[in-house]
Amino acid sequence: MGQKINPLGFRLGTTQSHHSLWFAQPKKYSEGLQEDKKIRDCIKNYVQKNTRLSSGVEGIARIEIQKRLDLIQVIIYMGFPKLLIEDKPRKLEELQMNVQKELNCMNRKLNIAITRIGNPYGHPNILAEFIAGQLKNRVSFRKAMKKAIELTEQADTKGIQIQIAGRIDGKEIARVEWIREGRVPLQTIGAKIEYCSYRVRTIYGVLGIKIWIFIDEE
């Protein structure tokens, strides 16, 4: 059996960079890690409550966190920033207040910025949200996967692999189904591959979606 490894951790330092940049003493490290999780969860929950497209996509590609002694800088990379920017200052202030309340940090300033990414469907997180929305609406899993592949082809990618596991279509026995289009060289460290795993709750149980997108080779 091939030993599976997370494609992002495997490529750290070559084609992949960290999503959190900060330094902590060993004893304080776990606190910093929990703080990052709180920030990410709080932002995702806020976006989920306040902005929802008809397809069920929130549009957050990734959230980067940089910490200094007196400042926490959070950059949200969104595929559809219009969702938050329509009445931008008010919503951003509200989001900042929510995150600060969650963190309970009075001595550090929090700064949240939103950056738009081109080709949103070329990013696995947004694509997984799209597939999850389709599966919740009882669309056939094969149809959802093929539609997702069509969307990535418009985003100028070199290859994509999608895997769905669980009680697919409500069948009694859980199984794994996957589909691949183009090249996905997982063993090549020089290949820039975006990856995400996403859980979706359906009425039959939890399904796991994994997406690998091959963008370019160095």
- Predicted local distance difference test score (pLDDT) of residue 78: 87
- Predicted local distance difference test score (pLDDT) of residue 117: 87
Beta strands in 12-124 (DSSP E): 20-21, 60-67, 71-78, 109-116
Architecture of domain 118-215: 2-Layer Sandwich (3.30)
- Predicted local distance difference test score (pLDDT) of residue 84: 62
- Predicted local distance difference test score (pLDDT) of residue 172: 92
Contact 41, 47 (CB under 8 A): no
Question: What tens digit of pLDDT does each residue of 66-96 get?
Answer: 999 889 999 999 887 766 655 567 778 888 8
Q: Which residues of the chain have pLDDT under 70?
A: 1, 51-57, 82-88
- Predicted local distance difference test score (pLDDT) of residue 142: 94
Tell me the three state secondary structure of residue 35: helix
Kind and range of the H or E run holding 173:
none
Domain map of the chain by residue range? Answer: 16-114, 118-215
Question: What tens digit of pLDDT does each residue of 42-58 get?
Answer: 998 888 887 655 555 67
Among the CATH numbers 2.30.30.110, 3.30.300.20, 3.40.50.300, 3.60.130.10, which is that of 16-114? 3.30.300.20
